[in-house]
């Protein structure tokens, strides 16, 4: 689709490739040697063995020869709020196709940037976790994340566009990378960001019409399920042995991370006026922002909601909050912080357990 290629983000100066001072910083993390090389003989060793067996080569595993047409919806139209908006239906066919292509590229770009964040956090855990088996496991996760960066970069290349990282995602991953102890990095990444990713990949796998994206998300999701399991298996006994003030410090960190997400408006739509990437989507499609957001309000008044369709996983409800509860970070004090912020506390771990099996799940 030439119109899309004409707008290739890579050819637009100033959006990608230019680092800002916020993109380079020092970590306060302590680095830990260990000379006890005996394997732990527990769940972490089991996860390490599974991670070794489950390594995959994207060159062989995925059908890269398939053509991807970014102007065609990659998800079922009926599950996408934009395609159900009366405003959208009034746009010309070529404008609709452009919007589909650009908004999909904007969403996929967030997965790509998020995977780079995961790559760096997994490397941080490798050098800061004090346990030998956990170091080896974290090294496998680092390789998994490198593969995820690779496959999303290749897929975005097929769509021919990469959009900038959304502010809320950068804020969440920066808070994790700037944390002063490895436990916080595991909370921010293995429980929160990976809970978000696991839910999103699961939903994308179930709804996409693109066979390449379907196979890509299936394989990435299996790795992510292991990463979420690691966060719990390693941290639960560590947290159980910490003094109360340190547990409260970790519980506050988890709350702050959840709060960034809860107010990012990620459930079912990416439209936000405060997201320069989304505003760029509208600009590239020559859609007036005031008209678009008026159209979104009109759709909501007509009952066309941003709610996820039946069967789709809600990451906060089904994965993140249950993971935080399960590991012991919903202390009575921090529960009142969730309540004051208006964030419901979900504790039912059934979908979390099912997803840790590494297979797609319906809610």
Specify the residue, 97 or 115, whose C-beta has the smaller distance to Fe ion.
Answer: 115
Minimum distance, C-beta of residue 82 to Fe ion, in the bound complex (Å)? 26
118 binds Fe ion (CB under 5 A): yes
Phi, psi torsion values for 327, nearest 5 degrees: -90, 0
Give the Cα-Cα-Cα angle 300, 110, 173 (nearest 5 degrees).
110
By C-alpha distance, which of 113, 255, 110, 111 is closest to 184?
255
222 binds Fe ion (CB under 5 A): no
Query: Reduced to 3 states, what is the DSSP secondary structure of residue 75?
Result: strand
Build a one-symbol-per-residue string for 135-154: x at contacts with Fe ion by CB under 5 A, - elsewhere: ----------x--x------
Which residue is associated with the tokens 């505003």?
A: 279
Specify the residue, 97 or 145, whose C-beta has the smaller distance to Fe ion.
Answer: 145
Specify the residue, 191 or 254, whose C-beta has the smaller distance to Fe ion.
Answer: 191
Minimum distance, C-beta of residue 346 to Fe ion, in the bound complex (Å)? 22
Rounded to whole angstroms, the Cα distance separating 361 from 363 reads 6
Specify the residue, 219 or 284, whose C-beta has the smaller distance to Fe ion.
Answer: 219
Rounded to whole angstroms, the Cα distance separating 163 from 152 reads 13
Query: Which residues does residue 208 pair with via DSSP β-bridges, in sequence order?
Result: 75
Q: Which stretch in 25-33, 70-78, 99-107, 192-200 sits in contact with Fe ion by CB under 5 A?
A: 192-200
Rounded to whole angstroms, the Cα distance separating 277 from 9 reads 11
Q: Which stretch in 225-233, 260-268, 277-285, 338-346 sits in contact with Fe ion by CB under 5 A?
A: 225-233
Give the Cα-Cα-Cα angle 46, 222, 131 (nearest 5 degrees).
35
125 binds Fe ion (CB under 5 A): no
Structure tokens at 41: 């003989």
Specify the residue, 191 or 351, whose C-beta has the smaller distance to Fe ion.
Answer: 191
Specify the residue, 80 or 224, whose C-beta has the smaller distance to Fe ion.
Answer: 224
Minimum distance, C-beta of residue 85 to Fe ion, in the bound complex (Å)? 32
Minimum distance, C-beta of residue 149 to Fe ion, in the bound complex (Å)? 8
Number of residues that bind Fe ion (CB under 5 A): 7
Rounded to whole angstroms, the Cα distance separating 62 from 133 reads 30
CB atoms within 10 A of CB 13: 8
214 binds Fe ion (CB under 5 A): no
Specify the residue, 85 or 125, whose C-beta has the smaller distance to Fe ion.
Answer: 125
Specify the residue, 145 or 183, whose C-beta has the smaller distance to Fe ion.
Answer: 145
Minimum distance, C-beta of residue 220 to Fe ion, in the bound complex (Å)? 6
318 binds Fe ion (CB under 5 A): no
Q: Which stretch in 128-136, 153-161, 226-234, 338-346 sits in contact with Fe ion by CB under 5 A?
A: 226-234
185 binds Fe ion (CB under 5 A): no
Minimum distance, C-beta of residue 190 to Fe ion, in the bound complex (Å)? 7
Contact 172, 257 (CB under 8 A): yes
Contacts of 347 (CB under 8 A, 6+ apart): 321, 322, 325, 326, 330
Rounded to whole angstroms, the Cα distance separating 46 from 49 reads 5
Specify the residue, 47 or 247, whose C-beta has the smaller distance to Fe ion.
Answer: 47
227 binds Fe ion (CB under 5 A): yes
Minimum distance, C-beta of residue 197 to Fe ion, in the bound complex (Å)? 6
Minimum distance, C-beta of residue 43 to Fe ion, in the bound complex (Å)? 17
First to last CA, the chain: 36
Rounded to whole angstroms, the Cα distance separating 273 from 353 reads 36
Query: Reduced to 3 states, what is the DSSP secondary structure of residue 34?
Result: coil
Structure tokens at 358: 């590494």
Binding site for Fe ion (CB under 5 A): 115, 118, 145, 148, 194, 224, 227
């Amino acid at each position: 689709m030439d119109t899309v290629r004409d707008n290739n983000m890579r050819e637009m100066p100033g959006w990608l490739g230019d680092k800002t001072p916020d993109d380079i910083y020092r970590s306060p993390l302590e680095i830990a040697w260990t000379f006890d090389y005996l394997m732990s003989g527990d769940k972490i060793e089991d996860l390490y063995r599974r991670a070794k067996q489950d390594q995959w080569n994207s060159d062989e595993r995925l059908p890269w020869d398939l053509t991807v047409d970014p102007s065609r919806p990659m998800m079922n139209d009926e599950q996408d709020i934009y395609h159900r908006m009366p405003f959208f239906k009034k746009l010309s066919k070529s404008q609709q196709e452009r919007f589909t292509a650009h908004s999909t590229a904007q969403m996929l770009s967030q997965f790509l940037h998020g995977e780079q964040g995961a790559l760096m956090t997994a490397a941080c855990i490798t050098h800061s976790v004090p346990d030998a088996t956990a170091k080896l496991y974290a090294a496998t996760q680092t390789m998994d994340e490198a593969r995820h960066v690779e496959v999303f970069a290749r897929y975005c290349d097929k769509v021919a566009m990469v959009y900038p990282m959304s502010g809320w995602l950068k804020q969440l991953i920066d808070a994790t990378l700037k944390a002063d102890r490895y436990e916080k990095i595991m909370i921010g990444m293995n429980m929160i960001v990976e809970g978000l990713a696991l839910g999103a990949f699961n939903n994308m796998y179930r709804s996409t019409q693109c066979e390449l994206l379907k196979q890509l998300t299936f394989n990435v999701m299996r790795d992510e399920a292991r990463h979420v399991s690691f966060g719990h298996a390693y941290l639960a006994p560590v947290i159980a042995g910490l003094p109360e003030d340190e547990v409260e410090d970790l519980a506050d960190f988890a709350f702050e991370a959840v709060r960034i997400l809860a107010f990012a408006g990620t459930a079912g739509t990416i439209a936000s006026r405060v997201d320069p990437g989304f505003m760029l989507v509208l600009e590239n499609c020559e859609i007036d922002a005031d008209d678009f957001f008026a159209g979104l309000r009109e759709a909501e008044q007509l009952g066309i909601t941003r709610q996820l369709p039946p069967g789709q996983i809600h990451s906060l409800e089904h994965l993140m909050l249950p993971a935080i509860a399960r590991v012991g970070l919903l202390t009575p004090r921090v529960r009142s912080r969730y309540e004051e912020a208006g964030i419901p506390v979900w504790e039912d771990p059934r979908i979390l357990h099912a997803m840790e099996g590494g297979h797609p799940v319906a809610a």
